[in-house]
């Protein structure tokens, strides 16, 4: 952690506290070079930037809900939906990012969904790829039949 004052990389932790019901870690640090103190906050929370410009906390239930809608009437087990949502969440968290766009999440869902059910995939893609004409559906359906 770089010192915000002199930009030195040589800093030490002098106090650590968890807050916000364990989802945050606050650290008090001291710079070894300029000896000033500063606070840092670490969070495992992930923010999602939405299309309308607002942000919200990542919520895996939203992925599950989106998948349930896309898979309505399709021979897809709820367990498979949960597995995709978990897979996507794991891959996002393993990258260690603090912010991701809702579109990136949607695209991350598409790949495993394609293997699971073609119709559900097309429904889901229509939302996340901004399909706005029947031609977009046709193109995506053709790509499913003839993968590049």
Q: Kindly list the residues in this chain that would bind Zn ion in the complex (CB under 5 A).
A: 3, 5-6, 8, 31, 33-34
Compute the Cα dihedral for 23, 54, 4, 97 and give only its sign. Answer: positive
Rounded to whole angstroms, the Cα distance separating 125 from 135 reads 13
Which is closer to Zn ion, CB of 29 or CB of 114?
A: 29
Residue 11 CB, nearest approach to Zn ion (Å): 7
Residue 37 CB, nearest approach to Zn ion (Å): 10
Output the six-digit token pair for 70: 């896309």
How many C-alpha atoms does 32 have within 13 Å on its Cβ side?
8
Kindly report the backbone phi and psi dihedral angles of residue 74, in degrees, each rounded to the nearest multiple of 5, phi listed first: -100, 150
Residue 40 CB, nearest approach to Zn ion (Å): 13
Which is closer to Zn ion, CB of 5 or CB of 78?
A: 5
Which is closer to Zn ion, CB of 3 or CB of 84?
A: 3
């Amino acid at each position: 952690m770089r010192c915000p004052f002199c930009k030195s990389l040589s800093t030490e932790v002098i106090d650590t506290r968890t807050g916000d019901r364990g989802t945050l870690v606050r650290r008090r640090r001291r710079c070894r070079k300029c000896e000033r103190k500063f606070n840092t906050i670490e969070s495992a929370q992930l923010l999602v930037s939405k299309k309308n410009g607002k942000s919200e906390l990542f919520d895996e239930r939203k992925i599950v809900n989106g998948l349930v809608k896309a898979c309505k009437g399709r021979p897809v087990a709820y367990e498979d939906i949960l597995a995709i949502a978990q897979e996507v969440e794991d891959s996002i968290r393993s990258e260690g990012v603090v912010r991701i766009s809702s579109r990136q999440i949607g695209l991350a869902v598409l790949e495993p969904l394609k293997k699971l059910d073609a119709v559900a995939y097309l429904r889901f893609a229509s939302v996340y790829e901004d399909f706005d004409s029947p031609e977009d559906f046709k193109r995506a359906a053709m790509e499913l039949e003839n993968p590049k």
